[in-house]
Structure formats: C-alpha cells, structure tokens
Chain A
Amino acid sequence: EPEVTQTPSHQVTQMGQEVILRCVPISNHLYFYWYRQILGQKVEFLVSFYNNEISEKSEIFDDQFSVERPDGSNFTLKIRSTKLEDSAMYFCASSEAGAGGPGGELFFGEGSRLTVL
C-alpha cells in the first residue's frame, strides 16, 4: 500500500541551527502538507503546497520556515534558525485532491521528531 515516508525519524539539533526535514509523498498525489504536533497536544496545520507553490500557511509558519519540492518526489521543510519551541513531531501529508471533499483525504507519514536543545 502506498505510503508517505519521512526522514529523519528523529533529529536533535542545537538552537539556532538549520534543519531540513524530508518527505516523499504518495506518488500520484498532488497536494502536500506539513503539520506539527507538540508533545501531548493536537496536530496543527503549518503549510499546504500545490502546483509548486504554497497555497496556504498558518501563523506558525513564519519567515523561519520554508518548503520546497526540489524534484518530482521529495517535499522538504526547512527551519532556518531553530528555537526551543520548535521541538515537536513534524508530519508530512499528501492528498490526491484538495482537502475538504472526496479524494481530499490526507495521508500522513510517521513523522520526524525534532528536538531543539
């Protein structure tokens, strides 16, 4: 069964360092997303990406964050200068159609745990 894969599964970094989290969405999906989940809290939307550009982003997704689809398969999230409060589980997701209707169901990866020291 097709799945979203994410790397690394866990990354520990020093505050102020740059981090890149990688995702390979399901191959025939066109919409890509990043969500995050702080330990013990709910899943929060960061950004959606379609047709090689950001379609929506939340207040969390400030100038320190960026996304890129460098080739036909990878989708990356970059945090330029990590802060302690960036420590969380980051989930990549993809969908065939835009979320909100049939075909728009999001399929999530297993997540990348980021720990900022």
Chain B
Amino acid sequence: GQQLNQSPQSMFIQEGEDVSMNCTSSSIFNTWLWYKQDPGEGPVLLIALYKAGELTSNGRLTAQFGITRKDSFLNISASIPSDVGIYFCAGPLNYGGSQGNLIFGKGTKLSVKP
C-alpha cells in the first residue's frame, strides 16, 4: 500500500541553523501537506502543496513538491527554540480519489539547542 518515508527520523541542531527534511513515496501523490505536532497537541498545518514543482513559503519555512510527484522537502531557516516538535508529511490516501483521506509519514523529531 501507499507509504510515506520521512528522513531523518530525528535532528538535533543549534539555534540559528537551517534544517532540511524530506518525505518520499513509491506512489504518486497529487497533494503534499506538512504538519507540525507539539507534545500533547494535534497536528497543525504548516504548508500545503498542490502542483508538481511548486515551491511555497510560510515565514521561515519553505516546502517543495517534487517534480516526480513522489517526494517533498521542508526547509526551516534560522531555527529558533519554538521550532521544536515533530514534523509530519501527509498526502491523500488514494491518488485523486474519493474523499482523499490522509496518510502520514512517521515524522521527523526536531530538537533545537539554544
């Protein structure tokens, strides 16, 4: 079945550093979503991507929809302590079909040292 593979699983970085994480799949996705989850809370949508090749920014965050439709990356520039959390990529369970319920990757856990 469809799976999303995220890497790295975890990152320990110094405040101020840039961060890059990615998500790959063996299947084509027509939408890529990036969520952040703080401990004990629900996922919060960061960026949504709908077109292959699309590059979208949200403040210090930038995400790209891979041209093959099988991958996406998320970059965070100049990290700050509140960037700590788990970042999930997600995409519709069935390509272009039905209600397109989401499948999530296993997440990248980000830790930031002040």
Answer yes or no: are A and B bound together in one complex.
yes
A99 x B100 contact (CB < 8 A): yes
CB-CB under 8 A from B50, the residues of chain A are: 101-102
| Chain A residue with the shortest CB-CB distance to B103 | A45
| B92 touches which of A33, A55, A100 (Cβ 8 Å) | A100
From A12-20, A63-71, A78-86, A105-113, the one touching the partner chain is A105-113
Which range contains the number of B residues in contact with the other chain? Answer: 20 to 34
CB distance from A3 to the nearest CB of B (A): 10
Contact residues of B between 55 and 104, Cβ < 8 Å to A: 88, 90, 92-93, 96-104
22 A-B contacts (beta carbon < 8 Å): A41-B106, A42-B105, A42-B107, A43-B43, A43-B102, A45-B101, A48-B99, A50-B99, A55-B99, A91-B42, A91-B43, A98-B100, A99-B31, A100-B99, A102-B48, A105-B33, A108-B35, A108-B43, A109-B42, A110-B41, A111-B42, A113-B40
